[in-house]
A and B are shown apart, each in its own frame.
Chain A
Amino acid sequence: MKTADRLTQWIGKTESFKKLSTLPLNFVLNFVLIVPFAIMIFLSFTRWEPLSGYDWWHAPIAGVPRFVEAFGDARLLWALIRTTIFVAVVLPLEFLLGLGMALLFLGDFRGKKAFTSVVMYPMMMPWVVVGLGFYLMFQYYGPVNLLLLKPMFGEGGVIDWFTNAVLAFVAVMIADIWQWTPLMFLIIYAGLAAVPRRLIEAAEVLGASSARIVRTVRLPLIKPLLVVALIIRGLEAFKVFDIVYIMTRGGPGVNSTEVVSLYVYNLSIVYHNTSYACAVSLIIMIGIALVTRLAIRPLEVRAE
Chain B
Amino acid sequence: MSEKKETKQEVSRRDYLKITGGAIAGLVVGGAIGYLAKPTEVVGPPPTGVTTQTVTRTLAETITWLPGMGVSERAAAGAKQLVASGAVPAGATIKLLHVAGSKNNFEPFFADWEAKTGTKVEVVTLGGEPDVLTKAMAEATAKTGAIDIITIFSTWKGDVIEAGLAKDLTDYYNKYNPEYGSQYPDTTVIEPLADYTTMYKGKRYAVDLDADVFTLTYRKDLLENPDYASQFKSKFGYNLKVPDTWEEVKDVSKFFTDLNLKAPDGEKVYGGYFYADPGWAAFTTWLCIFVSKGGILFSPTDMKAMINTQEGIDATQVMADLVPYMHPDALSMDWASLYKRYSEGKAVLTMAWPSLIKWAQDPSTSQIVGKSGSALAPGSKVTVGGKEMLLKAANNPVNWIGIVSNYSKYPELSYLFWQWVTSPVVGAESVSRVGIMDIFRECWFVPPYRETFEKAYTPQFLDVFADCIAHSFPDLMIKGSSEYLDKLTKNVNAACVKAKTPKAAMDDTAKDWEPITDRLGRDAQLEAWKSMIPLYPADVQDVWKAKGYLS
Contacts and interface: CB of A to CB of B under 8 A. Distances in A.
Contacts of B491: 253-254
Given A53-B163, A163-B497, A253-B493, A26 B331 contact: no
A139 B330 CA distance: 11
B29 interface: no
Interface string A1-30: 000000000001001001100110011001
A269 B9 CA distance: 46
Interface size, B (range):
35 or more
A18 B279 contact: no
B141 A50 contact: yes
Nearest to A47: B519
Contacts of A141: 267, 328-329
Contacts of B137: 50, 272
B203 to A, nearest CB: 15
B509 to A, nearest CB: 9
Contacts of A271: 480, 482-483, 486, 516
Interface in B371-417: none
A262 B500 CA distance: 22
B278 A51 contact: no
Contacts of A53: 43-46, 162-164
A288 interface: no
A227 B45 CA distance: 54
B102 to A, nearest CB: 20
Contacts of A272: 137, 159, 163, 480, 482-483
B272 to A, nearest CB: 15
A252 B494 contact: yes
A162 B491 CA distance: 15
Given A141-B328, A270-B482, A56 B267 contact: no
Given A51-B520, A53-B163, A140-B329, A23 B494 contact: no
A31 B27 contact: yes
Contacts of A270: 482-483, 486
A82 interface: no
Given A160-B331, A163-B331, A251-B278, A269 B163 contact: no
Interface string B308-330: 00000000000000000000110
Interface stretch (B15-23, B225-233, B288-296, B447-455): B15-23
B508 interface: yes
Contacts of A19: 11, 15, 19
A269 B134 contact: yes
A253 B163 CA distance: 30
Interface in B158-193: 159, 162-164
Interface string B487-499: 1001101100101
A19 B19 CA distance: 7
Nearest to B508: A254
A50 B267 CA distance: 48
A252 B331 contact: yes
Contacts of A54: 43
B130 A269 contact: yes
B483 A50 contact: no
A254 B23 contact: no
Interface residues of A, number: 43
Interface in A140-166: 140-141, 160-165
Interface in A254-304: 254-256, 266, 269-273
A163 B500 CA distance: 12
Q: By CB atoms of chain A within 10 A, which of B159, B277, B499 has the most?
A: B499
Contacts of B497: 163-164, 252-253
A255 B7 CA distance: 59
A252 B19 contact: no
Interface in B464-505: 479-480, 482-483, 486-487, 490-491, 493-494, 497, 499-500
Contacts of A23: 19, 22-23
B480 A51 contact: yes
A108 interface: no
A270 B516 CA distance: 13
Contacts of B90: none
B162 A51 contact: yes
A127 to B, nearest CB: 14
A4 to B, nearest CB: 15
A249 B20 contact: no
B71 interface: no
Given A15-B9, A162-B332, A270-B483, A51 B163 contact: yes
Contacts of A269: 130, 133-134
B168 to A, nearest CB: 14
B329 A252 contact: no
A163 B27 contact: no
Interface in B57-115: none
B340 to A, nearest CB: 11
A245 to B, nearest CB: 10
A34 B24 contact: yes
B499 A252 contact: yes
B43 A30 contact: no
B278 A253 contact: yes
A35 interface: yes
Nearest to B331: A163
A31 B163 CA distance: 26
B19 A163 contact: no
Given A139-B333, A270-B482, A270-B483, A22 B134 contact: no
A35 B278 contact: no
Nearest to B494: A253
Nearest to B277: A251
A140 B141 CA distance: 42
Interface in A29-85: 30-31, 34-35, 50-51, 53-56, 58
B20 A256 contact: no
Interface in B241-287: 267, 277-279
B493 A252 contact: yes
B140 interface: yes
A283 B7 CA distance: 44
16 contacts: A18-B9, A23-B23, A30-B24, A30-B27, A50-B163, A51-B479, A53-B44, A53-B162, A56-B141, A139-B333, A140-B329, A163-B332, A248-B278, A254-B494, A269-B133, A272-B482
Interface of A: 12, 15, 18-19, 22-23, 26-27, 30-31, 34-35, 50-51, 53-56, 58, 139-141, 160-165, 248-256, 266, 269-273
The 5 A-B pairs of least Cβ separation, nearest first, read A253-B494, A251-B278, A53-B46, A162-B332, A140-B328
Interface of B: 7, 9, 11, 15, 19-20, 22-24, 26-27, 41, 43-46, 130, 133-134, 137, 140-141, 159, 162-164, 267, 277-279, 328-329, 331-333, 479-480, 482-483, 486-487, 490-491, 493-494, 497, 499-500, 508, 516, 519-520
Given A27-B27, A53-B45, A252-B278, 13 more contacts: A23-B22, A34-B24, A51-B162, A53-B162, A139-B328, A140-B328, A249-B279, A254-B487, A254-B490, A269-B134, A270-B482, A272-B137, A273-B483
